[in-house]
Amino acid sequence: MAKASTSRYDVSEHLRTSEEMAAFLEACLEEADGDAALIAKALGDIARAKGMSQVACDAGLSRESLYKALSGEHSPGFDTILKVVGALGLKLHAGISNS
């Protein structure tokens, strides 16, 4: 019997359009339940899809600090989140909770 080979799923490889990126972030915001690290990770996935070096440049951050901030292991400051969201060409929206 042949061994099956698998590879790690990378969502950034499937985020091709701005609409897909915005929908992915929206879904993560809805599911995060207060987990800021999850939102940071989602932004990191989107940044990798767009090109981390360009996003870092547009956000005024170093590439290394951007990788660290968006790794999902830390909760970056809100100022960093706003810089990254702007560099990605996305907007954050507020709505009314149904709960």
Provide the CA 36 distance to its chain's centre, in angstroms: 11
Which residue ranges make up each domain of the chain? 16-87
How far is the C-alpha of 49 from the C-alpha of 21, rounded, in Å?
Answer: 9
How far is the C-alpha of 49 from the C-alpha of 60, rounded, in Å?
Answer: 18
The Cα angle at residue 22 between residues 99 and 74, in degrees rounded to 5? 75
Mean pLDDT to the nearest integer, 18-47:
93
pTM: 0.86
Query: Residue with structure tokens 């989140």?
Result: 81
Specify the pLDDT at position 86: 95
- Predicted confidence (pLDDT) per residue in 52-88, tens digit: 999 999 999 999 999 999 998 888 999 999 999 999 9
